[in-house]
Structure 1
């Protein structure tokens, strides 16, 4: 998907020139959430709606960032090809998406929001905690929806402080807690080393993990270090943690190249613990295989989405439909290396659910509709998970299942092995 050079180019789902003419009459100065003179909020007409995305399309996180655009683009590309999306107000609309590259830089993310807010109906799908936080307060003040974004930051699920926002993926604490519960219930004695990102992302994972193992007599944390998201190496941290004698490493990292190098460095030191990897950096093709993951006794992650690379889903109807649309409409010809492609496909399905519940073409009614979704089994969801947006303090997907790497993909597990 060659998107690095297309910083302002819309992703071609609807005819941009025609949409620009229809939107001109309803866009308001400043992009506030209230209705314009014609009764509609900015970015929506009787025939079309426009969504904005700020996400990393270049730099170290370009792989997952590109996927956050590809999946939702593919979803609505397929819907547009069928005639559009049916809204609850009786209108059928095509969906256009404009994605801008922020390079995982908060300042660029804020600038992207400022350039889009008056033209789009809502912002969605973009990757990153610091980048989404950079314009969170502005979106609240402007009453612009910032929804189903790819961050596990609990701030985006606080309905009182963030009435215009909603995260999509499980909050970091939920993922960390799932890991901790699995380990604490194993019965065996384990020494754990922790390497986490020195920000709210890493802190959230560690908080959830520690809360789950607190009081567990079989789990001892023997080393705990951090790294900066801007670091180019974690060799020193891995070397120090290897000396701890830990048989398990809880590795709360968001940077793909650093996760790969951490796996490789541990092998160079002949340190072969069991690994816990966050969903964000657990891709079989982009992380585990390049990192030589098969050398370790086990690698665990968490998920809520079916993985196309897993043999268990090779003939799955959801997966086959998704892969075909990703190639035809998402400008993504290869099998996705990152789960974010699946996640953003599910974002598209969730947005369609909200659109179907809207009775007025306004941002306010969209937020009402979005926050009324319960137990929606979006395409590609794993059994036992669902989209539910009504629970205060929780994102659209509040639950995960723990999985173990099987050499190609992941299998759901009930016990630590």
Structure 2
């Protein structure tokens, strides 16, 4: 298994992390100290001077770009912040251990099974199928699986998933934002839809269709799917282009396929306006390499400041973030080509908020503290968005801003053009 790990801060560690705290996480879970001195026994992965976080995410393969970003921002944040003061009065070094799952659910489950006894919590990892793969095991073993990068609503259902919490907006919210923008247009539009044949794609389409329901000016004229394992969607693009649609809703999560759809549409002389998910709309890694024409209209949604945007060139959050990424994240990436780099930096800030409210070194205390964050504006957040972990059924971030590609970065889109 290809595994890379890096300590956030100064020292790289591996198996030397306090193995005396390992063992079955449930069996070693916190409770009264058997010594009888009244102290609560610490959960696995945390000592008086350190805490270890695990990330299972694609570090290689077709989603390696965003996957590496899910670790890079996290490492950058804690590397820059240094030791963190916790709510129990202890100051701890935060260590991040990253495990490559290549976007393969079985590998993600194996990563959890092999490492859950040595880490305090799993966080930040990319993917709906991969995060779902070890969700049940995390619940059974009572291991936090939080602020993960999937828009699957299941991870924000506190009753069904008491040890989980998503970070990014649920897919339905992103899809609805596109639908609302389009429905507000005064023109008539024909829409072609291509979606990933899983909960990811279905969620986007569900939110979009609900938002355009009853809009007399919007007609869905063609709808096709693809599999996440497909290496080409040329056949689907040819059929969609023939539909005469002037809007293309492309609910796709695979970077190479997203690039190829833009290239294939150009080959077919099809120039619709595009709606792209937040995780596959990077100007530097997708739109630029694909030769996307900003005049066509490429729309995405965001809650993070984009370092590539001239509007944020001198922004203090952005300059601090870029410096931290350059200094601490070389094992993953120092170039924030994907929004996941910014998202994982925000995850770090959100975790620090929870750590500061933890009164005991236990997973239960952590989950209680994490669930009490409201109105927190993490570094890099766009105006009008914030962190709120108190809403059942919603992830830590539930609001987004629709933006349009301008050839360099994105600018807010107040209307569909």
> Hey, what does 2:357 align to over in structure 1?
357
Between 24-33 and 257-266, the greater mean CA deviation after superposition: 24-33
Q: State the TM-score, normalizing by the size of structure 2.
A: 0.95
Q: What is residue 111 of structure 1 aligned with on the other side?
A: 110
2:71 counterpart of 1:74: no
Helix, strand or coil at the partner of 2:380: coil
State the partner residue of 1:240. 239
Q: Measured at CA, do residues 117 and 321 of structure 1 come closer, stay the same or move farther in structure 2, by a change above 3 Å?
A: same
Match of 2:3 in 1: 7
Runs of 4+ in 1 over 4 A off after TM superposition: 16-19, 30-33
Pair 1:230-2:238 in alignment: no
The correspondence of residues 89-168 of structure 1 with structure 2, limited to 5 A, is 89-168=88-167
- Render the CA deviation track for 1:338-393: whole Å, top value 9, x for unaligned: 01000000000000000011100000000000000001000000001000000000
Distance in structure 1 (CA, Å) of the matches to 2:411 and 2:294:
18
Where does 1:301-340 land on structure 2 (aligned, <5 Å)? Answer: 301-331=300-330, 334-340=334-340
- Paired residues of 1:31 and 1:42 also in contact (CA < 8 A): no
| Distance in 1 (alpha carbons) for counterparts of 2:90 and 2:222 | 58
Structure-2 change in CA distance of 1:186 and 1:17 (3 Å)? closer
The corresponding residue for 2:60 is 58
- What is aligned with 1:213? 212
The CA distance in 1 between the partners of 2:336 and 2:25, in whole Å, is: 37
Rate the CA distance shift 1:9–1:335 in 2: closer, same or farther, 3 A.
closer
Q: Does 1:408 align with 2:403?
A: no
Post-superposition offset of 1:65: 0.1
How far apart are the structure 2 equivalents of 1:31 and 1:115?
Answer: 15
> Aligned partners of 2:366, 2:56: CA distance in 1, in Å?
20
Question: How far did residue 79 of structure 1 move?
Answer: 1.6
3-state SS of paired residue (1:96)? strand
Q: Tell me, which stretches of 5 or more residues in structure 2 are unaligned? A: 34-39
| 1:266 alignment counterpart | 265
Cα displacement (A) at 1:9: 3.8
Kindly state the Cα deviation for residue 131 of structure 1 after the two structures are TM-superposed.
0.3
Residue aligned with 1:290, SS: helix
State yes or no: 1:28 paired with 2:23.
Answer: yes
Return the alpha-carbon distance in structure 2 between the equivalents of residues 232 and 159 of structure 1.
Answer: 36
Report the TM-score, using the length of structure 1 for normalisation.
0.95
**Count, aligned residues:** 409
Distance 1:337 1:206 in 2: 26
Supply the distance in 2 between the matched residues of 1:59 and 1:333 (Cα, whole angstroms): 15
